[in-house]
Amino acid sequence: MQYKRILLKLSGESLQGKDSYGISMEQVRSYAVQIKNIALRGIQIGIVIGGGNIFRGLQGAKKGFDRVKGDQMGMLATIINSLALQNVLCDEGVKCKVLTSIRMEPIGEYYSKDKAIEYLEKGYVVIIGGGTSNPYFSTDTASALRGIEIEADGFFKGTRVDGIYTADPEKDPTATKFDEITFDEVYSRNLKIMDMTAFTLCKENKLNIIVFDMDAVGNLEKVICGEKIGTIVHQ
């Protein structure tokens, strides 16, 4: 498939690099260069980043935080990560805008579908921070929602694993990787790819999911070009 516009989801934890917390600028630079390379191909790129390297609302709730306040803190963490990536992309010469689902000008412009698409068509990488702006929803769900809204051709879930397996490969040495799998088979096998709300949104709106290892330098460009990297989830 030829991709014109994609939604790229990056986990917050992946921005840590080899650190145990926070933002590794070396890791952010690596991601920025990969994003730049596909932008140079004319691909329109929307990005959603998690916030787990700084604060995760669900973990906070387990430690006594009010869940709503914890999720709001997590939303702010995603915006911090968005600004970090924007800074490095701009340093690499890539035009980039941060839109936020929560009003917080001048940190970022307030998100709307029309504004996001307008910037994408003008050649900007658009990073959408703040999750859905509502508690109890993950950044996976925010990614699925934004991918559908911006009419993306695919939802690229950049992780630290190289695809979807029959079982957890770290726990089961006999686990095998799927090159492709249907949404219905993921349901029937009860595979944990992302939270079920996000997964169902993608299925119902026919947005294919591509799970791949973003930490392997060059993989983003390879998977965009159709190389058999990662796993494709389709109808």
Report the predicted TM-score, pTM, of the whole model to 2 decimal places: 0.95
Distance CA 110, CA 100 (A): 5
Distance CA 165, CA 153 (A): 24
Asked if residue 47 lies in contact with residue 12, where contact means CB atoms within 8 angstroms, the answer is no
Domain residue limits at 15: 5-234
- Dihedral sign, Cα of residue 229, residue 80, residue 137, residue 132: negative
Give me the tens of pLDDT residue by residue for the chain, a chain 235 residues long: 579 999 999 999 999 988 888 999 999 999 999 999 999 999 999 999 999 999 877 676 677 888 899 999 999 999 999 999 999 999 999 999 999 999 999 999 999 999 999 999 999 999 999 999 999 999 999 999 999 999 999 999 999 889 999 988 878 889 999 999 999 999 999 998 899 999 999 999 999 999 999 999 999 999 999 898 999 999 9
How many distinct structural domains can be found in the chain?
A: 1
How far are the Cα atoms of 46, 56, 69, 196, 210 from residue 65, in angstroms, in the given order?
A: 31, 11, 7, 24, 34
- CATH number of domain containing 67: 3.40.1160.10
